[in-house]
Amino acid sequence: MKTSSPSSLNIVDTLFLFSVSESTKESAGKHAPLAYAELLGVLNDARPPLGFRAADLTFAVAAVDPVSDSQKRFLEALTRLRINVEGVDFRHAYVSTPRAGGVDRSDHSVSSLAPNLCYVLGLIAGRMKPEAVVVTGSFDVYWPLMDFVAKRGGRAALAFFRRFLDPRWSQVGLFEESSPIRWIDLEPHAQRLLGIELGSPISSQFSGPRGLAGI
């Protein structure tokens, strides 16, 4: 950590990134785990053209099984890369529904780490010249990011593989020059990040994160 009160962060959703890796099994015939060291490099290179400062730190959230040794090793690997990582019990990442019991047991595997991402975003919103590059395909962070930029005077960018984004990002004009939320497409860096070239867009096959991340 470069400062005790960081104001320029990378905020990473490992659950959505894991889902991208899993989706390559069908298109490429093999699992393509994401290279987080390379991700840090891509984000570092993308910041100056957008007028962003170098990141004070990178914060990642991962949904994990607390008793899984392999997932503990994943958290340790991120820590070795100097990524501040929060491991969330995967059962706590299930999305609640407005019905008795709070969780739809028929669709129990739908998960989200967006609340954790937005909480971190809120922590830095009141600091001097806050900046955030958020790595996720989730649309759930849209309104917090808009508030961060429009009302808190911050700078924000969304970074992800374009074909794997929630389509609502296109509907709100993310890819337009006038968008207050800047855009970093990870797709041109697929070989570097995933070790494979992505074929034709397969966004219709991608339904977002449904299971554990970071295995």
pLDDT in tens, 4-40: 789 999 999 999 999 998 888 766 667 789 999 999 9
Confidence at residue 206, expressed as pLDDT on a 0 to 100 scale:
52
Rounded CA-CA distance 134/59 in Å is: 10
Q: Is the pLDDT of residue 209 over 70?
A: no
* Distances in whole angstroms, Cα of residue 30 to Cα of each of 40, 74, 164: 24, 19, 18
Contact call for residues 210 and 137 (beta carbons, < 8 A): no
Confidence at residue 103, expressed as pLDDT on a 0 to 100 scale:
56
Read off the pLDDT of residues 159-200 as tens digits, 9 standing for 90 and up.
Answer: 999 999 999 999 999 999 999 999 999 999 999 999 988 876
> Tokens 């004070």 — which residue?
56
Rounded CA-CA distance 83/81 in Å is: 5
Taking alpha carbons only, the member of 8, 4, 22, 2 closest to residue 137 is 22
> Mean of the per-residue pLDDT values for the chain?
87
The string over 143-160, giving b where at least 16 C-beta atoms fall within 10 Å of a residue's C-beta and e elsewhere, is: ebbebbbeebebbbbbbb
- Residues above pLDDT 90, as percent of the chain: 71
Q: Is the pLDDT of residue 107 over 90?
A: no
Domains of the chain: residue spans and CATH: 8-205 (3.40.50.1010)
Confidence of residue 109 (pLDDT cuts 50, 70, 90): low
The string over 86-95, giving b where at least 16 C-beta atoms fall within 10 Å of a residue's C-beta and e elsewhere, is: ebbebeebbb
